[in-house]
Amino acid sequence: MGKRPTRLTGTPGKSERNTAEHSGPAVGAADGQWLTRGKDGKLTLYALAQDGVVRWSETTVGGPDWTGPHVVPAPGLTHLTVLQGANTYVHFLGRRERVGADGARSADLVHAVQYQTGLAFSDWRSLGNPYADASAAPAAPAGAVARDGSVHVVVHGDRGGLQLRREAPNGKWRNWEVLPGGAVHHSPAAIALTDGRVEMCAAAETGVLVWRQAEPGGDFAGPRAFSLQPEPGTVAALETGPGRATFFWTDAESDGATAWRVGGWPAALGGTPADRPYAALRTTIDGYDCVVLACRSRGGAAVLGTGGAEQEADGFWWYELAETGQGAPALTLDGRGRVVMALIGADGRPRVARQGDGEGLALTRWITLGS
């Protein structure tokens, strides 16, 4: 049996200032890894803005001061997913809708990259529209950046399956390919593992489907189907061992969080059911190898939990915070190794709390980033 992690400690945090609803620069939360740490150790937070992306960046490693908001234009952008590779480059996947001179509507998926904290984005490149009807808006994209830096973009297909587009070793993009398998409810949770492979897990009509690469850069085998019952839209992934992914979701039967690894049994974690994918982080707390999860409850409250990595039987501890937000929260480690949690408030302003000193995982006072 593994060691038991220290419980969450502290009292629910409060924001440093209150603002009117929808008064901030963000019009929506991003998906994916929208709180990132650059090679310089500074954090950057990204959100969806009106026709673009808005970002804030730490001025010094570990904060507490931030610059921003800085808006990066992207006309027609209606959805944003943020990914980060092992080389710390930050990738942006978006869904873009446009109206032509003749009034005809079109939609496509786009990609851009930022190579260093605070620098400009690359040009937005169209990845096309994988749907048969090019006027239909494709689903929100998901993805992962493999260890070699190649970007994998996956989207819920117009016929219920999954469609994948990825970079080739020479940096050029391959054509869209249809992944085998039945109908899925949403785009999957995709994860890039340290052994170079990418895995994907999606809730489907028949349970759970998992696609895996046998080797880095190879084709995706599967899917393997498992008779499990995740709530659609709540699946997340985290590497909890070398080349080994643990998937987290809200279980449709128990209405609590569940952890599961291929080849094992699902483990009930309890807690408040999430309405979006969990943010997942692996770190050391009080000398123990731990998993930290964050989610938004169905009532909109931010929830934080922790337990031993791959030691679900030892217990998982949950803590509902006083903060509320839109979309799913984000987790990362700052340049000093402290857990940082972020969310986008209903007012469009980002709020950030950081792990304090002392035992356990106690968050310091929430701060609202400037507008």
* Ordered DSSP codes for 163-207: EEEEB-TTSPBPPPEEEPS--BSSPPEEEE-TTS-EEEEEEETTE
Mean pLDDT confidence for 31-59: 96
CA dihedral (248, 252, 257, 259) in degrees, to 10, reads -40
Express each pLDDT in 215-254 by its tens digit.
999 999 889 999 999 999 999 999 999 999 999 999 999 9
Q: Using the structure block, give the residue that is written with the tokens 């587009």.
A: 165
- For residue 49, the one-letter residue type is A
Q: Measured between alpha carbons, how far is 46 from 55 in angstroms, rounded to an integer?
A: 4
- Whether residue 264 has pLDDT greater than 60: yes
State the pLDDT confidence band at 358, using cuts at 50, 70 and 90. confident
Mean pLDDT confidence for 32-47: 97
Query: What is the pLDDT of the chain when averaged over all its residues?
Result: 90
Q: Using the structure block, give the residue that is written with the tokens 């980002």.
A: 350
Mean pLDDT confidence for 134-151: 91
| pTM of the full structure | 0.92
Q: Using the structure block, give the residue that is written with the tokens 């692996």.
A: 282
Between 179 and 157, the higher pLDDT residue: 179
Residue 134, pLDDT score = 75
Mean pLDDT confidence for 337-362: 94
Q: Measured between alpha carbons, how far is 171 from 74 in angstroms, rounded to an integer?
A: 23
Between 275 and 3, the higher pLDDT residue: 275
Give the residue among 344, 310, 314, 347 at the shortest CA–CA distance from 329. Answer: 344
